[in-house]
Amino acid sequence: MDNQFPYLSAVLLTPALGMLVILFLPHRSTRAVRWVSLASAGLCLGLTLRLYQIYDQGAAGLQFVERVPWVESLGIFWHLGVDGISLPLVLLTSIVFFTGVWTMWELSHRVKEFFALMLLMIVGVYGVFLSLDLFFLFVWYDVSLFPMYPLIAIWGSTRKEYGALKLTLYLLAGSALVLPGILYVYFQSGLFTFDLVQIAQAGLAPDVQYLGFFLFLFGFGVLAGLWPFHTWSPVGHVAAPTAVSMIHAGVLMKLGAYGVLRVGMYLCPQGLVEWSPLFALLATAGIVYGALVGLAQTDLKYVIGYSSVSHMGLVSLGLATMTAGGISGSVFQMFAHGIMTALFFSSVGHVYDRTHTKLIPEMGGMAKVMPRASFFFILAALAGIGVPCLASFWAELLVFINGYRAYPVLGVAAVLGLVVSALFMLRVVQKTFYGERNERHGQAPDMTLAMTLPRAMLAATILLFGLAPRLALDLINTATTPLAGMFR
């Protein structure tokens, strides 16, 4: 395995290279900027698919590992690797990145800056998913957060400065808990290394795990939309431009859950055991609460924002079950929700671009006006409700089964959330897309074929993984089964 092509560095550096190229392009050549972004996204997608194909499921564990000393005296290494948990999330990032760039093709305002920042954000996302070194993981984490501020404040809508500020401050407050957590673990482990694998193997003292997990849970949990630290998410989603919402809700929120899983649960398994009842309680509260608040929203993007709160609650509940099935369900839910919510935002983005409104009462009958956009939205809504044979169903199934096994009362409460989420999704579908055509938007054009394709890619992914869940779950199981053994 030593002399093979450094796939992971290639995935991580391709968008960085793309960004550099864009920075050196003249302002006016927007075409070139778009093509460079799309090319780097396509390259990443191709590399990821190749990775997915050659990952050895029989051997399992971390693969494609690259480990190069960076600052050896401090124990910092350029240490990359993927396993069954991070690989599906890397695939998710590549798909959302590619389709996100494509849906922003028609952007005309400050194109160069937009794509440069977006690529920078993606570098950070890949970095978090691929890094096995706590120092780099933290650096990439912040790299992925900072570009959000200009991206929302410049290209956003609806109270964009407020949304951008709130989101950025909130997430930085979260990382202000993560950094002390990392340093605490770094010093308490006595190894003076940031290497995640080494620290996990050596193990930490129980009281260190207790405090450490607390810091990681709430530090990363903010980004995962953990209740009650979720209010930045709807506000931020509403303000952000389409592709940023797609990447943000689709991928960035998963960084939070991934951080809890990769840093918190790997390093502090006993901490999870101690904190799991609280974790599960907050998760369940998020599931039910998000769905009920979603019922009362009148802005399409707010609705999706609150559905994200509810669905990310499922991710957290899965993690809190401490069982192989629950964690598998949780990882699969991250993947499925990422694709689904990207599809949501990309179809709402189209509706908003053409009608200049996202208020539900101002619409109606959109299925007649924009059949394609409506189809994609309705498909995403059905996936969100947990209709079988769409990807999220399997994830929800696993989370509910194991949630009920671990916490019977909370499990039942979370299952009740299913009815509410069905009610609120179908209500939105009915009010927005069904009914008599609203004459105000009667002439709004539907998606062109070129703009349909990225959405179709997302829809096809939902269907593919819904019909054949083993494509992802067999891989995820290889990583979660050994992990669940740590919580005894």
Q: Please report, as ranges, the residues that interact with another protein according to CB under 8 A.
A: 166, 169-170, 228, 230-231, 235, 289, 292-293, 295-297, 323-329, 365, 367-368, 382, 387-389, 393-394, 397-398, 400-402, 404-405, 411-412, 415-416, 418-420, 422-423, 426-427, 430, 433-437, 469-470, 473-474, 476-477, 480-481, 484
Rounded to the nearest whole angstrom, what is the least distance from the CB of residue 443 to another protein in the complex? 17
Burial bucket for residue 116 (CB in 10 Å: 0-12, 13-18, 19+): buried
Rounded to the nearest whole angstrom, what is the least distance from the CB of residue 25 to another protein in the complex? 38
Rounded to the nearest whole angstrom, what is the least distance from the CB of residue 310 to another protein in the complex? 12
The answer to whether 225 and 260 are in contact (CB under 8 A) is no
How large is the angle between the packed helices 449-467 and 86-103, nearest 10 degrees? 160
Of the pair 50, 427, the CB lying nearest another protein is at 427
Of the pair 132, 458, the CB lying nearest another protein is at 458
DSSP category for residue 392: H
Q: Which helix (H) or strand (E) holds 464?
A: helix 449-467
Of the pair 121, 444, the CB lying nearest another protein is at 444
447-458: string of b/e by CB count within 10 Å (b at 16+)? beeebbebbbbb
Bridge partner residues of 362 (DSSP): none
Structure tokens given for 83: 């396993």
Structure tokens given for 265: 């649960």
Of the pair 75, 469, the CB lying nearest another protein is at 469
Of the pair 9, 231, the CB lying nearest another protein is at 231
Rounded to the nearest whole angstrom, what is the least distance from the CB of residue 436 to another protein in the complex? 6
Rounded to the nearest whole angstrom, what is the least distance from the CB of residue 216 to another protein in the complex? 21
Close Cβ partners of 419 (under 8 Å, ≥ 6 residues apart): none
Rounded to the nearest whole angstrom, what is the least distance from the CB of residue 222 to another protein in the complex? 11
Rounded to the nearest whole angstrom, what is the least distance from the CB of residue 468 to another protein in the complex? 8
The answer to whether 396 and 386 are in contact (CB under 8 A) is yes
Of the pair 323, 346, the CB lying nearest another protein is at 323
Of the pair 249, 399, the CB lying nearest another protein is at 399
Of the pair 16, 395, the CB lying nearest another protein is at 395
**Euclidean distance between CA atoms 345 and 103, whole angstroms:** 10
Using only the alpha carbons of the chain, give its radius of gyration.
21
Task: Dump the DSSP string for 208-238.
Answer: HHHHHHHHHHHHHHHHTT-TTS-THHHHHHH
The answer to whether 383 and 459 are in contact (CB under 8 A) is no
Rounded to the nearest whole angstrom, what is the least distance from the CB of residue 247 to another protein in the complex? 23
